Amino acid sequence: MQGRGTRREQDSGKEVAVKAARLAGIDVGARHLKIEIEDARDARCALEVPNTPAGHRRLIRRLTQGGRRVRVALEASGIYSLDLALALHRAPRFEVMVVNPRAARDFAKAFLLRSKTDAIDAWVLLEFVRRMPFVNWQPPRDAALALRAFARRIAALVKIRSQEKNRLHATEHCRELPAAIRNDIEVNLRHLDRRIQRLEEQAVDVVWADPALRHDLVLLTSIRGIVRSSALQILAELRVLPDDLSPRQWAAHAGLDPRAFESGDSVAKPARISRVGNRYLRAALYMPALVASQHEPHVKAFYDQLLARGKKPKQALAAVMRKLLHSIHGMLRSGTDFDGERFLALPQGT
The answer on 106 and 35 residing in a single domain is yes
138 part of a folded domain: no
Q: Average of pLDDT values for 289-318?
A: 95
Please determine, for residue 9, whether its predicted confidence score (pLDDT) is greater than 60.
no
Q: Quick one: what percent of the chain has pLDDT higher than 70?
A: 89
Say if residue 164 is in the same domain as residue 279: yes
In a domain, 50, yes or no: yes
Q: Answer yes or no: is 137 within a domain.
A: no
User: 268 versus 169: which is more confidently predicted?
Assistant: 169
Using an 8 Å Cβ cutoff, are 237 and 253 in contact? no
Residue 272 CA to residue 324 CA, distance in Å, equals 17
H-only helix segments in 132-178: 142-171
**Contact criterion met (CB below 8 Å) for 97 and 127:** no
pLDDT at residue 253, as a whole number? 85
pLDDT, residue 267, reads 42
The predicted structure's pLDDT at residue 4: 36
Q: Is the pLDDT of residue 238 over 80?
A: yes
pTM: 0.76
Q: Which residue has the higher pLDDT, 179 or 230?
A: 230
Higher pLDDT, residue 204 or 242: 204
Domain total of the chain: 2
Q: Are residues 230 and 305 in the same domain?
A: yes
pLDDT tier at 114 (50, 70, 90 boundaries)? confident
Beta pairing, strands 267-273 & 258-263: antiparallel
Q: 225 and 293, same structural domain?
A: yes
pLDDT of 333 reads 95
Range of the domain at 33: 14-131
Task: Name the 3-class secondary structure at 348.
Answer: coil
**349 vs 265, more confident:** 349
Average pLDDT (44-57) is 93
Can you tell me whether residue 114 is helix, strand or coil?
coil
pLDDT tens profile 255-294: 898 765 444 444 445 557 777 778 999 999 999 999 999 9
Asked whether the predicted pLDDT for residue 20 surpasses 80, the reply is: no
Question: What pLDDT shows up at residue 266?
Answer: 45
**In this model, does residue 138 exceed pLDDT 90?**
no
Is 216 part of any domain?
yes
Give the pLDDT of residue 295: 95
